[in-house]
Each structure stands twice: as structure tokens, then as C-alpha cells.
Amino acid sequence: MRSAIFLGDDPKQIIRRTRALSDDIARILADGVPAESDLAEAPILDHWVVIGRRTPALAGAVAGHPVLGDRSIITSDLFALDDEAGWARTAGRFYRLGRPGGAACGRDQ
């Protein structure tokens, strides 16, 4: 019998992350917004833009990311975005949105 190969995280971590994402999407659909606790410690993504890959993602300058710290990043896949309310949910986490940058300049800077 062949063993499956999991790229990146260990399979148990993949399950935890996808369950958390699924629960967050269900809450957003039910409530229309993330819970305040979801955004309380979320990193801020400034000068953000939506970028095209095989699936959408965000790129920008992150502040307060628990793993990456403060620097320019490209996020994991983008699943939900409300630029007027100032938040996004990627495969990995919530982000609070700062000022948009580049082609995403739909809000006042």
C-alpha cells in the first residue's frame, strides 16, 4: 500500500486549518460579518491588492503577522473579502485591511 504525500503541513494541521476556514465562512454567511474576536488580533495588511493566481490572493505589507512579522507578503488563497468593512479571510487567517494599493484603490486612501 502506498502512503499519501502531503505537501506543506502535516495532515492533522491541514484538517484543523480547513475546519477553521469552513467554520469562519459559515459564520460570515450567517452573520454577514466576522466576529469581533476574529479581527481583534488579526494582522493588518496595508497597501493591499487582490492578485490573480490560479485562485485569488492578496498582496501587501503586513504588520503583526504571528509567523511572518512585518514585511511584504502574498497571502494564501482568498476566500472572503469585504473592503468596505475592512477585512479579508484567506485560507490561513483573517486580515484587517489597511489602505488599498495599486489596482485595488476603490476606497479613500
pTM over 0.95: no
The distance in angstroms from the start CA to the end CA of the chain is: 57
pLDDT(107) > 70: no
Please state, for a pLDDT cut of 70, what percent of the chain lies above it.
Answer: 85
Burial class (CB in 10 A: 0-12, 13-18, 19+), 95: buried
DSSP 45-81: EEEEEEE-SSS-EEEEEEEEETTTEEEEEE-S-EEEE
Reference 48, options 108, 102, 92; nearest CA is 102
Quickly tell me which residue has 475546519 as its cell: 19
The domain segmentation of the chain, as residue ranges, is 11-104
